[in-house]
Every structure is written in C-alpha cells, then in structure tokens.
Amino acid sequence: MERVTRTGPKKFREALKRGKCLIGPGVFDGISTRVASTVGFDFLYLAGSGATGSRVGEPDLSVMTQTEFADIAGMMVQHTDLPVIADADTGFGGPINIRRTVQLYEHAGVAGLHIEDQVFPKRCGQLKGKDVVDMQVYLERVRSAVEARMDPDFVIIARTDARQAKKFGGTEAGEEAFHEGVKRLKAALDAGADMAFMESPRTEEECKELVKACAPKPVLINVLPHGLTPGFTTSDCQRLGFAAAIYPCTGFIPSMLAMQRSYEGLRKEGSDLKYCEGNTIKNFFVQVGLDEDFDFDNRIERFSKEEVQHTSKQDES
C-alpha cells in the first residue's frame, strides 16, 4: 500500500482540481480508517466528534487536546493511501498555539485541517449554546495557520459557526447570521485560507449563495444525519457546487448502534454468535492488516535465510 505521508496535501489539491465533489466519510480510529479506505472514497475526515468519543469517552466539548488529535491523525495516515483532512477545533489557543497545531498536523502527514471561529471551549457545531469570537480574533487564527504551514500544498480550511451563534440569534437565527458567516468566510479566504466551510447552512438556497459568494475558492459542506443542514446526498452536494463533502457520522453512529445490539444481546441471550454474522477473530485481524503483516514477516524471513545461505557458501569457498 502506498502511504499518504508527505503526499496527502498534494493529492488532495490535485483531486480538487478535477471539478467533482470529493466525498470523505468520518473516521475516528484504526478500524474505521482501515474499513473506509477499502470502499473507494476520495479522502478521509478525522471527525472531532467521533474521535473524542472514541479516544476519551466524552462528547465533543473541547476536551481533546492538539497532541491527542495529532496522534490519532498520524496513526490514521499510516493505515490509508487516501488524504486525511483533520478537525483542528479553534486551533487550541492563540497564534503561537495555532502555529504548533499546524506543525503537529503536518508532521503527522495529514492533507489539511479546518479551524473555526467558535469561542473556547467550543462545542460540536450541531449543539445549541455556542458562540463565536469577533472577526479580528478569527482572522488571527486563520492567518496563524496560513503562515505556520511548511508545505504550500497543506490545505487550510476556514470554518465559521456564525450561522448558529448566540450573538446572531442561535439556532433560530435568520438571514443576518447567514450573511455574517459569508462575510467571515470571504475575509478568511482573503487572509490566505484555501477553502471555506460554513457549519450548517439551512437550505439549498443558502448553499448555492454560499458557493457563489466564495467563488472561485472551493467550499466544503458538512452533512450529518437529521442535522441542521438538510440530509444532502453526495449527488446533491455535487449539484449544489460544493468542492468537497464530509459525512462525519458514517462510522461512529452505526458502530455505536451495532455495539448496543451486540452487548445487549450477549447479556440477554447469553451469546454474541448471531451478532458476529459468521465472522471470526481472524476476519477482524484481516481487516486491520493481518495478511500484509504476514507477507512482510515472511518476506523478511526469506531474505535472512537466503543471506545466511549465501554467507555460508562464501565461507566454504
């Protein structure tokens, strides 16, 4: 398998130029990365919500640190040949902290990150009660990320949560909040961001206006099941003009439901057999690279045996 490390940013940028909407499912651990990589997606998205729940068993409320995110991202990059885009929350501090965040993410091998304008501590964009910093602080965050990157292909995605911010009306906000979000994204693009990301535009009309306002720069859309944004299909995202679409919950919500069923089944029925659907522990190991590992191990063993035999023949002569 070709590893994406150090080539992810370039791959992602080249894919953006092809003009189709790139699709990235949410991944949050090693097994989700391995499984999603076999399906045929364009990139993978390190979802802060799923990663926080998986790594520390907490909701997405700013409890994960920059080093934990970078550590997970680095592990994911090792196990896929797809570019990985990672959630970077608010950047985890001021300009110097944001510079370190970008450096850590780049070193981990990810293709890019998104950084947002929520106040700290932030919360998942789908939750009520969030608010955003003023424009100057937001642009400081974006510019810090832009200037911190070493690889010019590393993608800086500017995210705004103004559409649902308390200061603009919360989840009941109207056009004023939407237009504030557009204004912020346009300013972030002018500050050097490569891509725009508005959390939860409400309608198709807003999506079209958002894409048009940010042109020619690409725009990313975030689609969650039963979320504030309509449940767009991948074809919808293409039709609306988005350059990329992330589906953060694709992995972790179905995984949670499967675990609920199997754990409850074992407790109530006394067996987990039917929930494994005929799969064995070996099937799980194959999914996370057993065949590759055995091939590597056997290849090294053959090499060492041949070297010993060669050395022995030389000694005899």
Q: What SS3 class is residue 203?
A: coil
The answer to whether the bond into 216 is cis (omega within 30° of 0) is yes
Helix (H, G, I), strand (E, B) or coil at 94: coil
**CA pair distance 106, 66, nearest whole angstrom:** 12
DSSP H/E element including 25: strand 22-27
Dihedral sign, CA of 87, 91, 97, 100? positive
Round to whole Å and give the CA distance between 291 and 232: 37
Among 227, 276, 270, residue whose Cα is nearest residue 126: 227
Cα–Cα distance for residue pair 182/164, rounded to 1 Å: 13
d(CA 229, CA 240): 13
Q: Which residues are catalytic?
A: 45, 60, 87, 89, 114, 116, 124, 159, 199, 222
Give the whole-angstrom CA distance, residue 33 versus residue 36: 5
Q: Angle formed by the axes of helices 48-56 and 66-78, to 10°?
A: 100
Distance between CA atoms of 286 and 289, rounded to whole angstroms? 5
